[in-house]
Amino acid sequence: MPTSFRHDFIRFVIAQKVLAFGEFKTKAGRLSPYFFNAGLFHDGLALKQLAQFYAKAIVDSGVEFDMLFGPAYKGIPLAAAVAIAFADAGRYVNYSFNRKEEKDHGEGGSVIGAKLAGRVLIIDDVISAGTSVRESVSIIQAAGATPCGVAIALDRMERGTGELSAVQEVERYSHMPVISIANLDDLVDFLGVDPSLSAHLGPVNRYREKYGVAASA
């Protein structure tokens, strides 16, 4: 994927205040110099633009898929929005999502939307512990379909409990690719070419040296 595309995304998330710089405590107890909060994509235009970035990243990845799946809860609007972005580009794909509690009346079950079938691409915001991906894989396989990949907005490229990042752990156990619109390398590159943000380059680089992992081959 061209660097300019990834830089466009980083510029977009900074403008939306989804990506912020400062000092933030992560779930792992680390002090991070940046924070990415996809929950701040909460207006129609921002969600539309985000979905377009997802669609471009998915197409550029070359991953073949038949439908989309959004894990509850953040993945639900993302999968719907990405399906709309593909429709705007002339490709019509089905999507579905799960509810946390199985329903025994009405349409019943835990999956809403299109029937899970064929190659299913999971759409989520980020991968932290990989829990929602594991749950999604189980749901998709139980329906007789094939999980074929995961698309996320930002890959922090940060070690988990071992030497691998959360994304690399997901790729290893699931044997499927994780597509990200941008990753930590892209963020560092962007900070290096935007003078207005250069003050953040040092802290982000030091954090990467301490907790980062190399990109997957």
Instruction: Read off the CATH number of the domain in which 130 is found.
Output: 3.40.50.2020
Residue 102 confidence (pLDDT): 63
28 or 55, greater pLDDT? 55
**For residue 103, what pLDDT is reported?**
58
Please provide the average confidence, as pLDDT, over all residues in the chain. 92
Catalytic: 103?
A: yes
Indicate the range of 3-7, 8-12, 15-19 predicted with least confidence: 3-7
Within a domain: 53: yes
Residue 57 inside a domain? The answer is yes
Average pLDDT rounded to a whole number, residues 48-66 = 97
* Res. 1: pLDDT tops 50: no
Number of H helices, E strands in the chain: 7, 8
* Under 8 Å between Cβ of 167 and 207: no
pLDDT of the residue at 100? 77
Provide mean pLDDT across the span 67-87: 96
Residue 217 placed within a domain: no
How confident is residue 162, by pLDDT bands cut at 50, 70 and 90?
A: confident
Structure confidence at residue 2 (pLDDT): 46
> What is the per-residue pLDDT across 194-206, written as a single tens digit (0 to 9) for each?
999 999 999 999 9
Question: For residue 43, what pLDDT is reported?
Answer: 95
Asked if residue 216 belongs to a domain, the reply is no
48 burial level (CB within 10 Å; 0-12, 13-18, 19+): middle
Please enumerate in sequence order all residues whose Cβ is within 8 A of that of 158, keeping only pairs 6 or more positions apart, or say none: 165, 166, 184, 211, 212, 213
Residue 63 — very low, low, confident or very high, per pLDDT cuts 50/70/90? very high
Tell whether omega for the bond before 211 is within 30 degrees of 0, i.e. cis. no
Domains contained in the chain, number: 1
**Is 25 known to be catalytic?**
no
pLDDT at position 134 is 93
Residue 112, strand partner residues: 97
Averaged pLDDT for residues 112-131: 93
Output the pLDDT for position 99: 87
Helix (H, G, I), strand (E, B) or coil at 131: helix
Among candidate residues 42, 103, 115, 210, the one labeled active-site is: 103
In a domain, 82, yes or no: yes
Domain of residue 91, residue span: 3-211
Nearest to 120 by CA among 143, 90, 100, 87: 143
For position 195, what pLDDT does the model report?
Answer: 94
Q: Which is the catalytic residue, given 17, 27, 100, 105?
A: 105
Q: Is residue 73 part of a domain?
A: yes
pLDDT band of residue 36 (cuts 50, 70, 90) is very high
